[in-house]
Structure 1
Amino acid sequence: MSIVHRSKVDAWLLVVLVLVVVVPLFASAVLLADGSAAAWVALPLVAPGAVLPAWLLLGTRYVLQLGLLTVRCGPFAWRVPLAEVTGMHPTRNPLSSPALSLDRLRIDYGVGRSIMVSPRDRARFVEDLERLRAGAGRMES
Protein backbone atom coordinates (compact mmCIF):
# COMPACT_ATOMS: atom_id res chain seq x y z
CA MET A 1 0.00 0.00 0.00
CA SER A 2 1.36 3.41 -1.00
CA ILE A 3 -0.03 6.81 -0.06
CA VAL A 4 1.09 9.70 -2.25
CA HIS A 5 1.10 13.26 -0.95
CA ARG A 6 1.77 16.04 -3.45
CA SER A 7 3.84 19.07 -2.48
CA LYS A 8 2.14 22.31 -1.63
CA VAL A 9 3.34 24.99 -4.09
CA ASP A 10 3.76 28.63 -3.10
CA ALA A 11 2.38 31.05 -5.71
CA TRP A 12 5.66 33.01 -5.94
CA LEU A 13 7.64 29.84 -6.61
CA LEU A 14 5.11 28.69 -9.21
CA VAL A 15 5.54 32.02 -11.04
CA VAL A 16 9.34 31.76 -10.91
CA LEU A 17 9.40 28.16 -12.16
CA VAL A 18 6.93 28.87 -14.96
CA LEU A 19 8.95 31.91 -16.07
CA VAL A 20 12.18 29.89 -15.99
CA VAL A 21 10.52 27.39 -18.34
CA VAL A 22 8.54 29.74 -20.60
CA VAL A 23 10.91 32.69 -21.19
CA PRO A 24 13.84 30.73 -22.66
CA LEU A 25 11.51 28.58 -24.76
CA PHE A 26 9.75 31.70 -26.05
CA ALA A 27 13.09 33.32 -26.91
CA SER A 28 14.14 30.18 -28.80
CA ALA A 29 10.82 30.14 -30.66
CA VAL A 30 11.32 33.77 -31.70
CA LEU A 31 14.81 32.95 -32.98
CA LEU A 32 13.42 29.97 -34.90
CA ALA A 33 10.62 32.07 -36.40
CA ASP A 34 13.17 34.64 -37.57
CA GLY A 35 15.16 31.88 -39.23
CA SER A 36 18.18 32.60 -37.09
CA ALA A 37 20.87 29.94 -37.01
CA ALA A 38 21.41 30.92 -33.37
CA ALA A 39 18.15 29.12 -32.53
CA TRP A 40 19.74 25.77 -33.30
CA VAL A 41 22.49 26.58 -30.83
CA ALA A 42 20.15 28.07 -28.22
CA LEU A 43 17.52 25.33 -28.24
CA PRO A 44 19.77 22.47 -27.04
CA LEU A 45 21.12 24.75 -24.32
CA VAL A 46 17.70 26.01 -23.26
CA ALA A 47 15.82 22.71 -23.30
CA PRO A 48 17.51 21.13 -20.24
CA GLY A 49 17.10 24.41 -18.38
CA ALA A 50 13.38 24.27 -19.10
CA VAL A 51 12.94 20.57 -18.37
CA LEU A 52 14.43 20.52 -14.86
CA PRO A 53 12.17 23.22 -13.33
CA ALA A 54 9.12 21.59 -14.94
CA TRP A 55 10.20 18.20 -13.60
CA LEU A 56 10.67 19.66 -10.11
CA LEU A 57 7.26 21.32 -10.24
CA LEU A 58 5.41 18.28 -11.52
CA GLY A 59 7.48 15.58 -9.82
CA THR A 60 7.71 16.65 -6.18
CA ARG A 61 5.82 14.16 -4.03
CA TYR A 62 6.06 12.19 -0.83
CA VAL A 63 5.26 8.48 -0.97
CA LEU A 64 4.45 6.70 2.28
CA GLN A 65 4.62 2.94 2.49
CA LEU A 66 4.70 0.63 5.46
CA GLY A 67 7.99 1.53 7.16
CA LEU A 68 9.28 3.93 4.49
CA LEU A 69 8.92 7.51 3.30
CA THR A 70 10.23 8.11 -0.22
CA VAL A 71 10.67 11.77 -1.11
CA ARG A 72 10.82 12.53 -4.83
CA CYS A 73 11.74 15.89 -6.29
CA GLY A 74 12.33 15.69 -10.04
CA PRO A 75 15.33 13.44 -10.64
CA PHE A 76 16.23 13.36 -6.93
CA ALA A 77 15.01 10.86 -4.33
CA TRP A 78 15.48 10.29 -0.61
CA ARG A 79 14.45 7.22 1.40
CA VAL A 80 13.61 7.72 5.06
CA PRO A 81 12.95 4.60 7.15
CA LEU A 82 9.96 5.47 9.34
CA ALA A 83 11.46 3.55 12.26
CA GLU A 84 14.32 6.09 12.28
CA VAL A 85 12.05 9.17 12.50
CA THR A 86 12.80 10.92 15.80
CA GLY A 87 10.70 14.05 15.39
CA MET A 88 8.65 16.31 13.13
CA HIS A 89 8.43 20.08 13.46
CA PRO A 90 6.74 22.82 11.41
CA THR A 91 9.26 25.24 9.90
CA ARG A 92 9.55 28.04 7.37
CA ASN A 93 13.27 27.47 6.85
CA PRO A 94 14.15 28.63 3.30
CA LEU A 95 17.12 26.28 2.85
CA SER A 96 17.08 24.14 -0.25
CA SER A 97 14.90 21.09 0.17
CA PRO A 98 12.43 18.90 -1.75
CA ALA A 99 9.60 21.27 -0.79
CA LEU A 100 7.85 23.72 -3.11
CA SER A 101 6.47 25.83 -0.28
CA LEU A 102 7.94 27.58 2.74
CA ASP A 103 5.13 25.99 4.78
CA ARG A 104 7.32 23.03 5.64
CA LEU A 105 7.62 20.11 7.96
CA ARG A 106 11.10 19.17 9.15
CA ILE A 107 11.48 15.44 9.67
CA ASP A 108 14.39 14.42 11.86
CA TYR A 109 15.63 10.86 11.43
CA GLY A 110 18.64 8.66 11.97
CA VAL A 111 21.66 10.24 13.61
CA GLY A 112 21.57 13.99 12.98
CA ARG A 113 19.74 13.74 9.64
CA SER A 114 16.71 15.72 8.55
CA ILE A 115 14.65 16.53 5.49
CA MET A 116 12.09 19.28 4.91
CA VAL A 117 8.88 18.53 3.03
CA SER A 118 5.79 20.59 2.25
CA PRO A 119 2.77 18.31 1.86
CA ARG A 120 -0.45 20.01 0.69
CA ASP A 121 -2.37 18.52 3.61
CA ARG A 122 0.15 18.52 6.45
CA ALA A 123 -2.24 17.12 9.08
CA ARG A 124 -3.19 14.18 6.85
CA PHE A 125 0.47 13.55 5.94
CA VAL A 126 1.48 13.42 9.63
CA GLU A 127 -1.49 11.16 10.40
CA ASP A 128 -0.60 8.78 7.56
CA LEU A 129 3.10 8.78 8.50
CA GLU A 130 2.35 8.01 12.16
CA ARG A 131 -0.14 5.26 11.24
CA LEU A 132 2.34 3.56 8.88
CA ARG A 133 5.17 4.04 11.36
CA ALA A 134 3.12 2.36 14.10
CA GLY A 135 2.17 -0.46 11.70
CA ALA A 136 5.81 -1.05 10.83
CA GLY A 137 6.68 -1.18 14.53
CA ARG A 138 4.08 -3.89 15.14
CA MET A 139 5.48 -5.95 12.25
CA GLU A 140 9.01 -5.82 13.70
CA SER A 141 7.87 -7.05 17.15
Structure 2
Amino acid sequence: MVQVYKSKIDTWLVVVLAAAIILCTVPFLLSLISGNSDELLPTLPAFVIGAGIPLWLMTTTCYTLTDSALLVKSGPFKWQIPIQEINGITPTRNPLSSPALSLDRLRIDYGRGQSIMISPKQKSEFLQHLAARRAQMS
Protein backbone atom coordinates (compact mmCIF):
# COMPACT_ATOMS: atom_id res chain seq x y z
CA MET A 1 0.00 0.00 0.00
CA VAL A 2 1.38 3.41 -0.98
CA GLN A 3 1.08 6.21 1.58
CA VAL A 4 1.95 9.85 0.96
CA TYR A 5 2.89 12.26 3.74
CA LYS A 6 3.08 16.02 3.19
CA SER A 7 5.87 17.98 4.80
CA LYS A 8 5.13 19.90 7.95
CA ILE A 9 5.69 23.64 7.25
CA ASP A 10 6.96 26.00 9.93
CA THR A 11 5.25 29.41 10.08
CA TRP A 12 8.56 31.28 10.02
CA LEU A 13 9.48 29.53 6.75
CA VAL A 14 6.13 30.41 5.18
CA VAL A 15 6.79 34.07 6.09
CA VAL A 16 10.31 33.98 4.59
CA LEU A 17 9.17 32.26 1.39
CA ALA A 18 6.12 34.53 1.04
CA ALA A 19 8.40 37.58 1.42
CA ALA A 20 10.70 36.21 -1.30
CA ILE A 21 7.72 35.62 -3.57
CA ILE A 22 6.40 39.15 -2.99
CA LEU A 23 9.83 40.76 -3.44
CA CYS A 24 10.20 39.02 -6.80
CA THR A 25 6.62 39.50 -7.96
CA VAL A 26 6.18 43.23 -7.29
CA PRO A 27 9.02 44.46 -9.56
CA PHE A 28 7.87 42.10 -12.30
CA LEU A 29 4.27 43.32 -12.08
CA LEU A 30 5.37 46.98 -12.03
CA SER A 31 7.50 46.45 -15.14
CA LEU A 32 4.63 44.57 -16.78
CA ILE A 33 2.21 47.41 -16.03
CA SER A 34 4.65 50.05 -17.29
CA GLY A 35 4.95 48.22 -20.60
CA ASN A 36 8.68 48.92 -20.70
CA SER A 37 10.38 45.84 -22.17
CA ASP A 38 13.79 47.08 -20.93
CA GLU A 39 12.50 46.69 -17.36
CA LEU A 40 10.53 43.52 -18.04
CA LEU A 41 13.46 41.43 -19.30
CA PRO A 42 15.60 41.56 -16.12
CA THR A 43 12.63 41.10 -13.78
CA LEU A 44 11.25 38.03 -15.59
CA PRO A 45 14.01 35.58 -14.53
CA ALA A 46 13.94 36.96 -10.98
CA PHE A 47 10.17 36.43 -10.90
CA VAL A 48 10.32 32.90 -12.32
CA ILE A 49 13.14 31.80 -10.01
CA GLY A 50 12.35 33.89 -6.93
CA ALA A 51 8.63 33.15 -6.90
CA GLY A 52 8.47 29.86 -8.79
CA ILE A 53 10.97 27.80 -6.82
CA PRO A 54 9.59 28.64 -3.34
CA LEU A 55 6.05 27.85 -4.55
CA TRP A 56 7.29 24.62 -6.14
CA LEU A 57 9.01 23.55 -2.91
CA MET A 58 6.04 24.43 -0.69
CA THR A 59 3.53 22.58 -2.86
CA THR A 60 5.49 19.43 -3.75
CA THR A 61 7.59 18.47 -0.72
CA CYS A 62 6.30 15.06 0.34
CA TYR A 63 7.37 11.61 1.41
CA THR A 64 5.91 8.46 -0.12
CA LEU A 65 6.14 5.04 1.48
CA THR A 66 5.83 2.13 -0.91
CA ASP A 67 6.21 -1.52 0.05
CA SER A 68 9.95 -1.37 -0.63
CA ALA A 69 11.11 2.25 -0.63
CA LEU A 70 10.84 5.72 0.84
CA LEU A 71 10.45 8.25 -1.98
CA VAL A 72 11.31 11.84 -1.10
CA LYS A 73 10.28 14.67 -3.41
CA SER A 74 10.92 18.38 -3.01
CA GLY A 75 10.55 20.61 -6.05
CA PRO A 76 12.98 19.38 -8.72
CA PHE A 77 14.77 17.04 -6.30
CA LYS A 78 13.96 13.34 -5.77
CA TRP A 79 15.45 10.57 -3.65
CA GLN A 80 14.60 6.87 -3.56
CA ILE A 81 15.71 5.08 -0.39
CA PRO A 82 15.21 1.32 -0.22
CA ILE A 83 13.55 0.52 3.12
CA GLN A 84 15.88 -2.42 3.66
CA GLU A 85 18.85 0.00 3.60
CA ILE A 86 17.52 2.20 6.43
CA ASN A 87 19.88 1.82 9.39
CA GLY A 88 18.36 4.28 11.83
CA ILE A 89 15.85 7.06 12.41
CA THR A 90 16.41 9.85 14.92
CA PRO A 91 14.52 13.07 15.66
CA THR A 92 16.51 16.23 14.97
CA ARG A 93 16.18 20.00 14.71
CA ASN A 94 19.26 20.34 12.52
CA PRO A 95 18.82 23.44 10.32
CA LEU A 96 21.01 22.21 7.45
CA SER A 97 19.46 22.18 4.01
CA SER A 98 17.19 19.21 3.39
CA PRO A 99 13.87 18.30 1.77
CA ALA A 100 12.02 19.40 4.92
CA LEU A 101 9.93 22.53 5.42
CA SER A 102 10.08 22.34 9.20
CA LEU A 103 12.82 22.07 11.82
CA ASP A 104 10.79 19.27 13.44
CA ARG A 105 12.65 16.62 11.47
CA LEU A 106 13.59 12.99 11.28
CA ARG A 107 17.09 12.01 10.23
CA ILE A 108 17.00 8.84 8.16
CA ASP A 109 20.35 7.03 8.05
CA TYR A 110 20.69 4.57 5.19
CA GLY A 111 23.18 2.78 3.00
CA ARG A 112 26.83 3.39 3.74
CA GLY A 113 26.93 6.59 5.76
CA GLN A 114 24.17 8.38 3.88
CA SER A 115 21.42 10.37 5.54
CA ILE A 116 18.50 12.61 4.71
CA MET A 117 16.33 14.80 6.93
CA ILE A 118 12.58 14.92 6.39
CA SER A 119 9.65 16.50 8.23
CA PRO A 120 6.42 14.55 7.75
CA LYS A 121 3.38 16.41 9.04
CA GLN A 122 1.99 13.23 10.65
CA LYS A 123 5.30 12.11 12.13
CA SER A 124 4.05 9.38 14.48
CA GLU A 125 1.86 7.80 11.78
CA PHE A 126 4.76 7.95 9.32
CA LEU A 127 7.08 6.24 11.84
CA GLN A 128 4.51 3.49 12.54
CA HIS A 129 4.03 2.72 8.86
CA LEU A 130 7.76 2.80 8.16
CA ALA A 131 8.44 0.48 11.14
CA ALA A 132 5.77 -1.95 9.86
CA ARG A 133 7.39 -2.05 6.42
CA ARG A 134 10.85 -2.57 7.94
CA ALA A 135 9.49 -5.44 10.08
CA GLN A 136 7.94 -7.10 7.00
CA MET A 137 11.30 -7.05 5.25
CA SER A 138 13.27 -8.69 8.07
Q: Which residue of 1 aligns with 2:99?
A: 98
- Percent of paired sites with the same residue: 45
| Contact 1:84 1:110 survives alignment (8 Å) | yes
Question: Are 1:107 and 2:100 an aligned pair?
Answer: no
After TM superposition, give the deviation of residue 95 of structure 1 in Å: 0.5
- Normalized against structure 2, the TM-score is what? 0.93
Q: Which residue of 2 aligns with 1:26?
A: 26
Equivalent residue runs for 1:41-60 within 5 Å: 41-60=42-61
Q: Which residue of 2 aligns with 1:78?
A: 79
Structure 2 gap segments, 5+ residues each: none
Equivalent residue of 2:52, what SS?
Answer: helix
Alignment deviations for residues 52-88 of structure 1 (CA, whole Å, 9 cap, x no partner): 1110111100000001000000010011111011111
Q: Equivalents in 2 of 1:23, 1:41: separation in Å?
A: 14
Paired letter, 1:8: K
| Contact 1:66 1:133 survives alignment (8 Å) | no
Q: Equivalents in 2 of 1:105, 1:82: separation in Å?
A: 15
Q: Equivalents in 1 of 2:46, 2:61: separation in Å?
A: 24
After TM superposition, give the deviation of residue 131 of structure 1 in Å: 1.2
Paired letter, 1:79: Q
Q: Which residue of 1 aligns with 2:16?
A: 16
Q: Equivalents in 1 of 2:70, 2:24: separation in Å?
A: 35
Q: Which residue of 2 aligns with 1:123?
A: 124
Alignment deviations for residues 92-121 of structure 1 (CA, whole Å, 9 cap, x no partner): 000100000000000111111111000111
| Contact 2:24 2:46 survives alignment (8 Å) | no
Q: How many residues align?
A: 137
**More displaced stretch, 83-92 vs 21-30:** 21-30
Q: Equivalents in 2 of 1:40, 1:88: separation in Å?
A: 47
Q: Which runs of 4+ in 1 moved over 3 A?
A: none
Paired letter, 1:65: T
Structure 1 gap segments, 5+ residues each: none
Kindly report the root-mean-square deviation, in angstroms, between the aligned alpha carbons of the 2 structures. Answer: 1.3
Paired letter, 2:49: P
